[in-house]
Amino acid sequence: MDFLLNEVLSVTRHRVRQFVDAHIIPVEDQVFAEDRAGKRDTLKQLQARARADGLWVPHLPPSMGGLGLGPMGMCALFREMGRSPIGAKVFNCDAPDQGNMDLLLMAASKAHQEQYLAPLVRAEVTSAFCMTEPAPGAGADPTNLRTSATKVDGGWEITGRKWYSTGARNASFLVVMARTSPDPRTGASMFLVDRNAKGVQYVRDIPTLGDQVLDHHEGEVAFEGVRVADDAVLGQIGDGFKLAQVRLVPARLTHCMRWLGLAERSLELCKKYITERVSFGKELARHQLIQDMIARNVSGIHAGNLMTLHAAWMLEQGKPKEAKPYSSMAKTHVARLLCQVLDDAIQMHGGLGYSDDVPFGRWYRSARAARLADGPDEVHIITVARDWLLGRLDVLV
Ligand SMILES: Cc1cc2nc3c(=O)[nH]c(=O)nc-3n(C[C@H](O)[C@H](O)[C@H](O)COP(=O)(O)OP(=O)(O)OC[C@H]3O[C@@H](n4cnc5c(N)ncnc54)[C@H](O)[C@@H]3O)c2cc1C
């Protein structure tokens, strides 16, 4: 593995960092306030600037207006964007749209790429990915899938209920996972469904621990006999679980990249306070128990970065199957790390850390979801342990 970024990537990374520092961070609060008031003016200005600066949809190939970065290039840029909770949205590579773009690029017909993908790339619309269902349906175990798609004349009829469909409220279309046969391996299929199709009912925004801002509203959606045409199937009938893996392994890594960026920024914010605040006769940064927190988190970020880069490198080598346990390891590590960094940031700032005068509490509430979304820790831990026991995972690469 070569850790050196090529010159183009190195320069682009620097440009993204400057963009985030100069244009995004100063207006973060304003973007959130406008969103709560039902406006997106500042966000749209930032998006126009990102597009003009050639930093738009960086994960997509140049033919789609992107930078054709590949997984390792994405690591370099997404970390920088992730330093702001709105960074990915500004460059139009936020979840779930970014993963859905990659999925449509891979599995949608040319006509559907024109109809659904092109406006998504231009940020004229947003999308959602509807896999998880309320119990007893699909969750940590996707084979519990209950939503059904039944063959009818000229298409399929979808019935079921989804929840935690991030962004479904404002989405113009949904990628819906539904059961098309009882087969445990090939019994699921993915469908493109218009959000306003007859029978799609937006039940509610699920009230959660995290802020419900921009398109990060966790939606509950009912599908009551929703008719879609035959060509609404992504890939082939029966490809659902396979496509979910193809979508989720890289999408999981992009989460890690964004979380590493936010963890790094949080730690940077701590530096100012602990180097200025004096307690028991010396600056906090000179107390060993504070140094322990710093070293733990610096090392944790570095380890998470290496794990993420390594899994991305495997994807770049065309080894998605082999990359899976490594991406599970990275996801579990980085999700826990982000929560730990933010908890320590609160601790190091004392009462100030617990207040909304600093962002750690707000960020922590959203960060806690990292240990659940895209599979809870336990499911990824099982993958790592199983693959290691089977000799599929080499810890000393
Ligand atoms: C903020 C947020 C956004 C999300 N966005 C989306 C989205 O856009 N689209 C989508 O489809 N889903 C989304 N999800 C859903 C997420 O993927 C699921 O919550 C997750 O997969 C767990 O499923 P579940 O909630 O049904 O938990 P359950 O399956 O009920 O599991 C509950 C708990 O049991 C434990 N557990 C489960 N299996 C095992 C096991 N084998 N061994 C030991 N312990 C186990 C875990 O601790 C787990 O947290 C989102 C979730 C959150 C929190």
Q: CATH fold of 241-389, please?
A: Butyryl-CoA Dehydrogenase, subunit A; domain 3 (1.20.140)
pLDDT of residue 215: 92
- Residue ID of nearest Cα to ligand 1 atom 30: 139
Q: What is the position in ligand 1's atom list of the atom closest to the CA of 96? A: 8
Q: Which residues, in sequence order, are CB contacts of 321 under 8 Å at separation 6+?
A: none
Domain 127-234 superfamily per CATH: Butyryl-CoA Dehydrogenase, subunit A, domain 2 (2.40.110.10)
Taking only the tens place, the pLDDT of each residue in 87-139 is 999 999 999 999 999 999 999 999 999 999 999 999 999 999 999 999 999 99
- C-alpha to C-alpha distance for 301 and 265, rounded to whole angstroms: 11
Out of 132, 170, 191, 241, mutate this one to test ligand 1's pocket (max ligand atoms within 8 Å of CB): namely: 132
CATH 1.10.540.10 residue ranges for the chain: 7-92
**Predicted pLDDT at 158:** 98
Chain CA centroid to CA 19, Å:
21
Index of the ligand 1 atom closest to the CA of residue 374? 17
- Contact 96/248 with Cβ under 8 angstroms? no
Show the ligand 1 pocket: residues with CB < 6 angstroms.
96, 129-132, 135, 139-141, 164-166, 218, 369, 372-376, 378-379, 382
Peptide bond into 85 cis (omega under 30): no
Q: What residues does CATH 2.40.110.10 cover in the chain?
A: 127-234
- Considering the four listed CATH numbers 3.30.390.50, 1.10.540.10, 2.30.30.180, 2.60.40.10, the one that applies to the domain covering 7-92 is 1.10.540.10
pLDDT in tens, 265-311: 999 999 999 999 999 999 999 999 999 999 999 999 999 999 999 99
Bridge partners of 226, per DSSP, are 158
C-beta of residue 74 within 8 angstroms of C-beta of residue 82: no
CB 171 within 8 A of CB 195: yes
Euclidean distance between CA atoms 181 and 150, whole angstroms = 9
**Cβ of 307: how many Cβ atoms within 10 Å?**
22
**What are 40-85's pLDDT values in tens digits?**
999 999 999 999 999 999 999 999 999 998 899 999 999 999 999 9
pLDDT digits over 238-247, tens only? 999 999 988 8
- Which pLDDT tens digit goes with each residue over 305-348? 999 999 999 999 999 999 999 999 999 999 999 999 999 999 99
Which residue intervals of the chain bear CATH 1.20.140.10? Answer: 241-389
Write the single-letter amino acid at 100: N
Q: How far is the CA of 313 from the centre of ligand 1 (A)?
A: 27
**Phi first, then psi: what are they for 248, rounded to 5°?**
-80, -30
Ligand 1 centroid, distance to 373 Cα (angstroms):
6
Q: What is the pLDDT of residues 149-203, one digit of tens each?
A: 999 999 999 999 999 999 999 999 999 999 999 998 999 999 999 999 999 999 9
Residues 6+ apart with CB under 8 A from 52: none
Residue bearing tokens 């390792």: 72
Any idea what DSSP says for residue 280?
Answer: T
Is pLDDT at 1 greater than 80 in this prediction?
no
Average confidence (pLDDT) over 255-264: 97
Q: Residue 269: how many CB atoms within 10 A of its CB?
A: 15
pLDDT digits (tens, 9 = 90+) for 346-380: 999 999 999 999 999 999 999 999 999 999 999 99
Mutate which of 211, 378, 384 for ligand 1? The one with the most ligand atoms within 8 Å of its CB, which is 378
**Residue minimizing CA distance to atom 41 of ligand 1:** 379
Q: Using one digit for the tens of pLDDT, what is the confidence trace for 27-37?
A: 999 999 999 99
